[in-house]
A and B are shown apart, each in its own frame.
Chain A
């Protein structure tokens, strides 16, 4: 059974710092991996999707990498801002029902 783990569960950094969020998964047979952002009391906003054949994807200050063989993905956020404060969720496609399997998220707080 596929399991997705995100470390750390919570992270607090000063504004301007570069940071890395980690995601690991137990079964390397995935179709792709998706990173989401969730603000308190809100829905999920898709940030980046990496297909299984890709190594990384970039959008603005965000860069996500994927290493299928080791079962790991990282989300790199450059020059963090208070507006980046949110919970970041990692999810993989690999379930037998074609669904996403989610980690529990990393709660990021960026202090001014």
Chain B
């Protein structure tokens, strides 16, 4: 049981390049989330999904797209990377139960030059 995994762990992009971050969970969770963490800003929600085939915008969705084609995977895409997207990206998942506990992946550190 690996929990929540993220690929890649580190990446450096040039402005305008594109990439996809992969989040995978093996806990059969319905809900999945993408957050970004910036110094002095805390973690902020980018996009989320309440089940396979569904996605929705969070607090800071601009410049990102997401897809949830399979229940266990949640992909975050950057179509044209900008320096403002330099951040640490965390994926999380949870079951839709009263406890609402979220489980986090190890993060992806992205630098856009």
Chain A interface residue count: which class?
20 to 34
Instruction: How many A-B residue pairs have C-beta atoms within 8 angstroms? Tell me.
Output: 61
B101 within 8 A of A: yes
CA distance A93 to B33 in the complex (A): 13
- A98 and B98 within 8 A (CB): no
Dominant SS at the A interface? strand
For B, the interface residue count at a CB cutoff of 8 angstroms equals 28
CA distance A28 to B100 in the complex (A): 16
B105's nearest neighbour on chain A, judged by CB, is A43
A44 within 8 A of B: yes
Q: Which 10 A-B pairs have the closest CB atoms?
A: A43-B106, A102-B43, A44-B104, A104-B42, A102-B42, A93-B100, A99-B45, A43-B107, A31-B100, A49-B101
